[in-house]
């Protein structure tokens, strides 16, 4: 069983790799899309944001499908939809087809994370689960690396269209592996490494989540924090580096790759810091304060940072806006009983992607409000306003962290992987 569960995790980890790949892939090829389709920044921002609208809208159904038809079938079908969407995006003759393709990709990859969490909860003990979640987020960081730096190289060498068609073909292979390898739970329930808690109905659980007032500061924090990350790191960060700093696509992709390293390095480090401080809330406050200071620096010096400083800036930006999300899911789970873990994570997971959808579109509209600087692209004045909006959003995210409840479990039970938390929701 030990070998099988690692094989299952490997396949699902690869699926999550492509979730992040598609999530940030438009940032590097944004200029190519605008040129080929002849669209303005607002339309391009909407093209990027439609992924997030689809992803957010499918989180509740993803939990329902995982509980009814099972994670294996859910992930297999979703990967097929994503594969077809990726190939169609590479073949799109116009912006309308590109929108249809992007919707398919968004719908497909939206049903990977929640089923993966459910599978891991069946195959790994509670104490192992936290470690596996950290590894999964690191794999997502590798997907960011591929969606920025590697895609930049592929698009430069073969064009963005061929790149997305190849990714679609690889996803088909991954879909077949998911069907052949993944199993929802150990065949014999007596062999399961975890105890099965009493189930709480999905609708009853959802009502309990939304009626818990301590849920909302975390949810709103997710909206602003991930709106900043996806809006800038996922789409407009690449054009910003190319237009304001005059970088090539490859140079911009190299700097954007620091987003991936921020996730890979930052996720486990923030987890260790939380344990050392014996606090989730303090880590939220520290990360949100650092994010606000980073954006304040960018507003003050929008075109004056040396290249080495940009590498450092994007690394820290990723740590403070992306790696920190694992702490957000952890805090959300600790607000509720273990039996509600899937429901509460699915509910809070709506907010990061609504934030990404809103901010991608909003930042594009802001850039459209300023005249183009001819061949240089969007003007520095437009990007300065974009950075100012992001700074305001970071201050609002910081305010949410101050209103959060401390969820760090003060007492740990003696059972395997069991955590007893006195900070129960009221």
For residue 240, is it left (φ>0), alpha (ψ between -120 and 50) or beta? alpha
- What single DSSP character describes residue 124? S
When pLDDT is averaged across residues 163-180 and rounded to a whole number, the result is 90
Helices 41-57 and 350-368, interaxial angle, to 10°?
170
Q: Determine phi and psi for 411, rounding to 5 degrees.
A: -125, 130
φ, ψ of residue 335 in degrees (nearest 5): -80, -15
pLDDT above 90 coverage of the chain, percent: 29
Helices of type H across 338-379: 341-348, 350-368
Here the tokens at position 21 are: 């790949």
Q: Quick: pLDDT tens for 346-405.
A: 788 889 878 988 898 899 889 888 877 646 678 888 899 999 999 999 999 999 999 999
Q: What is the average pLDDT across 317-339?
A: 84
Q: Rounded to whole angstroms, how far apart are CA atoms 111 and 106?
A: 9
The pLDDT value given to residue 321: 94
Q: What is the pTM of this model?
A: 0.75
Instruction: Look at residue 21 and give its three-state secondary structure.
Output: helix
- Give the C-alpha separation, 256 to 153, whole Å: 13
| The predicted structure's pLDDT at residue 87 | 93
The model's confidence at residue 417, banded by pLDDT at 50, 70 and 90, is very low
Q: Please report, for residues 10, 11, 123, 171, the alpha-carbon distance to residue 178 in angstroms, rounded to integers and kept in the order given.
A: 10, 6, 16, 10
What pLDDT score does 350 carry? 84
Which three-class secondary structure state does DSSP give residue 73?
helix
The residue whose two tokens read 């009502």 is: 207
Helices 71-91 and 113-123: crossing angle in degrees, nearest 10, is 150
Per-residue model confidence as pLDDT tens digits over 252-293: 878 988 888 898 888 878 877 887 788 889 999 999 999 999
Rounded CA-CA distance 39/52 in Å is: 20
Distance of CA 341 to the CA centre of its chain: 18
Q: What value, to the nearest 5°, has the Cα angle with vertex 176 and ends 170 and 179?
A: 145
- In this structure, what are the phi and psi dihedrals at residue 420, rounded to the nearest 5 degrees? -105, 120
Q: What domains can you pick out in the chain, each with its CATH number?
A: 2-182+201-403 (1.20.1250.20)
> Band of the pLDDT at 227, cuts 50, 70, 90?
very high
**What is the rounded distance in angstroms from the CA atom of residue 221 to the CA atom of residue 83?**
32
- Integer Cα distance of 104 and 254 in angstroms: 28
Look over the chain and give the mean of its residue pLDDT values, rounded to a whole number.
Answer: 82
Average pLDDT over residues 114-139: 73
């Amino acid at each position: 069983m030990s070998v099988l569960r690692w094989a299952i995790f490997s396949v699902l980890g690869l699926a999550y790799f492509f979730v992040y790949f598609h999530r940030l892939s438009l940032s590097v090829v944004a200029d190519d899309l605008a040129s080929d389709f002849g669209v303005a920044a607002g339309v391009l921002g909407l093209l990027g944001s439609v992924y997030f609208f689809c992803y957010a809208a499918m989180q509740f159904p993803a939990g329902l499908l995982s509980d009814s038809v099972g994670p294996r079938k859910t992930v297999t079908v979703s990967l097929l939809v994503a594969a077809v969407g990726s190939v169609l995006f590479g073949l799109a003759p116009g912006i309308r087809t590109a929108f249809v393709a992007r919707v398919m990709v968004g719908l497909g990859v939206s049903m990977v994370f929640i089923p993966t969490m459910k599978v891991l909860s069946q195959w790994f003990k509670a104490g192992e689960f936290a470690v596996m979640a950290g590894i999964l987020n690191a794999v997502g960081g590798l997907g960011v690396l591929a969606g920025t730096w590697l895609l930049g190289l592929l698009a430069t060498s073969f064009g963005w269209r061929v790149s997305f068609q190849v990714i679609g073909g690889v996803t088909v292979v991954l879909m077949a592996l998911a069907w052949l390898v993944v199993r929802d739970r150990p065949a014999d329930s007596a062999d399961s490494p975890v105890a099965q808690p009493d189930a709480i109905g999905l609708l009853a659980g959802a009502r309990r989540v939304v009626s818990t007032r301590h849920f909302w500061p975390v949810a709103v924090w997710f909206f602003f924090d991930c709106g900043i990350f996806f809006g800038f790191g996922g789409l407009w960060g690449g054009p910003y580096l190319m237009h304001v700093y005059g970088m090539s696509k490859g140079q911009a992709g190299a700097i954007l790759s620091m987003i991936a390293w921020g996730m890979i390095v930052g996720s486990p480090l923030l987890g260790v810091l939380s344990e050392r401080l014996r606090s989730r809330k303090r880590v939220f406050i520290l990360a949100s304060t650092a994010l606000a200071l980073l954006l304040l620096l960018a507003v003050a010096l929008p075109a004056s940072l040396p290249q080495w400083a940009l590498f450092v800036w994007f690394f820290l930006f990723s740590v403070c806006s992306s790696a920190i999300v694992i702490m957000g899911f952890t805090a959300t789970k600790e607000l509720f009983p273990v039996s509600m873990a899937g429901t509460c994570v699915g509910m809070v997971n709506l907010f990061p992607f609504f934030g990404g959808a809103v901010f991608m579109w909003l930042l594009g509209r802001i850039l459209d409000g300023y005249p183009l600087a001819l061949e240089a692209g969007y003007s520095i004045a437009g990007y300065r306003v974009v950075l100012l909006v992001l700074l305001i959003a970071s201050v609002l995210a910081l305010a949410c962290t101050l209103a959060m409840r401390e969820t760090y479990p003060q007492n740990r039970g003696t059972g395997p992987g069991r955590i007893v938390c006195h900070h129960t929701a009221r």
